[in-house]
Structure 1
Amino acid sequence: MAKRKQVGKRVEGWKAKSWYKVYSPEAFGKTYIGDTISADPEKVSGRVLQTTLGEITQDYGKQHIKMRFKVNNVAGDAAYTEFVGHEITRDYMRGLVKRKTSRVDSIVLATTKDGKKVRVTVTCFTINRAENSQIHAIRATTMKNLLDTAAQSTFDEFSKMVVSGDLAKETFKAIKTIFPVRRVEVIKSKVVTPVTIMA
């Protein structure tokens, strides 16, 4: 059977795709953070882009904070995102570690007042080496502070506190009453998506 001849010009590859400008959430100023390309707008939703807080705020002292955003809405050639997590670079963390001190990590699953769950990793650097009982007290205080703060904040408010350093400052104030601390950092966060169980 003879092949059917194509009528008109066929558009292939990159020419068939469109570019979309990607913006951060309103909590982070709806800042332009990059571009993504797709032939189908529906396939843009769900994509995750990474940038730094320094790029968003134009404060290059914040380049060590890596931010992750997921596209949740596409309108025309614009793609809007939601915050899904952050992480501090290893190089920056390495510079915070000192000898004869303790590093106390706490992993807390916090729920905001609008029902979003965020897993937060907080690291406390002490001035002197802490004993086990003191480490337990630091972790308990950290957990209480995070859970209380999240419960009183919307997701947007809480995510902004996490990456801006405000949550670390509040945690520092709470911990220093029980043990001398040098620094507190929220080194990682991740939004926990609920798993749908099929009946």
Structure 2
Amino acid sequence: MAVARGRRKVRKVRDKWKEKVWYEIYATPEFGGVFIGYTPANDPSLVLGRVAETSLKDLTGDPTKHMHRVYFKIFGVTGNKAIAQYYGHDTTREYMKSQVRRRRSKIDAIVDVTTQDGYKIRTKATVLTAYRINTKQKSDIRKMMVEIIKNMANEKTFPQYVQAMLFGEMAEKIKEAAKKIVPIKNVIIYKSEVLSLAKKEENEGYVREEEVSA
């Protein structure tokens, strides 16, 4: 006896990827409002808090900055544009390894500072000497590094401080002071991390949905 079978209903599979909107990511105006990249999302609120990565070379057009990666965190969305604040930077492991040589001393300093306008940033710097030095000299250089970094934070706004880290002002200042103690091969501000934003910006995350184009 034949058994009649009903036809199976074919479910339509939604292509969620096609439903996503591509948001353009831009740095805040104090960092030139430069274009950083794209990020996809099917809801603008999902874009908030994402971290975009770019190289300092791509950001500035300066090929000598290829070893530094810069991170921006999205805190606002208007239409299909996402606004991102500087979040930190680091330096490639390959570059750092290439700078370390035998018979040299390496002095590191990790300093948490607050800028003039209330941003908290962790800054990591290293000094490479031309030859090996003693413990007293290392201690003197490290104290000097910490003092310079803290003073620069006290004197500068957040954008000014970041530019000092990324474009060499901080490294040059440390080098000038350190070479009065021993000959210096290189100074690298190899990493930074924003620990907290200024009060006004902590509450500034926004999504203007009425302007978002579907």
How far is the alpha carbon of 1:12 from its aligned partner? 4.4
Q: Deviations along 1:119-155, whole A, 9 cap, x unmatched?
A: 1110000012110111010000000000000000001
SS of the equivalent of 1:15 reads: coil
1:115 and 2:118 equivalent?
yes
Query: What code does the residue aligned with 2:41 have?
Result: S
Q: Which amino acid aligns with 1:179?
A: V
Matched, 1:184 2:187: yes
Is 1:157 aligned with 2:178?
Answer: no
Secondary structure of 2:182's match? coil
Moved over 4 A (4+): 9-12
Specify the alignment match of 1:6 in structure 2: none
Q: Is the 8 A contact 1:145 1:174 kept in 2?
A: no
Decide whether the 8 Å contact of 1:125 with 1:183 is kept in 2: yes
Within the alignment, does 1:27 sit opposite 2:25 as a pair?
Answer: no
How far does residue 10 in structure 1 lie from its aligned partner after superposition?
9.5
2-structure distance, mates of 1:109, 1:83:
16
Long gaps (5+) in structure 2? 1-11, 198-214
Distance 1:26 1:61, change over 3 A: same
* Greater relative CO, 1 or 2 (CA 8 Å, sep 6+): 2
1:52-82 Cα offsets, whole Å, 9 max, x none, are 0001111222111000100011111111110
Structure 1: give runs of 5+ residues left out of the alignment: 1-8, 195-199
- The AA in structure 2 aligned to 1:52 is S
Aligned to 1:89: 92
Could you tell me whether the CA contact under 8 Å between 1:85 and 1:191 is conserved in 2? yes
- TM-score when scaled to structure 1? 0.89
Distance 2:192 2:80 in 1: 29
Residue matched to 2:61: 58
Q: Kindly provide the CA deviation profile for residues 21-68 of structure 1, in whole angstroms up to 9, marking residues without a partner as x.
A: 011233332111110011111111110011100011112221110001
How far apart in 2 are the matches of 1:10 and 1:179? 68
**Contact 1:108–1:143, Cα closer than 8 Å, also in 2:** yes
Alignment RMSD: 1.6
Structure showing greater radius of gyration is: 2
- What corresponds to 2:143 in structure 1? 140
CA shift, 1:11, in A, is 6.3
> How high is the sequence identity, in percent, across the aligned residues?
35
Which shifted more, 135-144 or 93-102? Answer: 93-102
TM-score under structure 2 length normalisation? 0.83
Task: Tell me, yes or no, if structure 1 residue 172 matches structure 2 residue 175.
Answer: yes
Q: Does 1:42 align with 2:20?
A: no
- Counting matched residue pairs gives 186
More off after superposition, 25-34 vs 44-53: 25-34
Q: Which amino acid aligns with 1:182?
A: K
Q: Cα–Cα, structure 1 residues 161 and 27, in superposed 2: closer, same or farther, change >3 Å?
A: farther
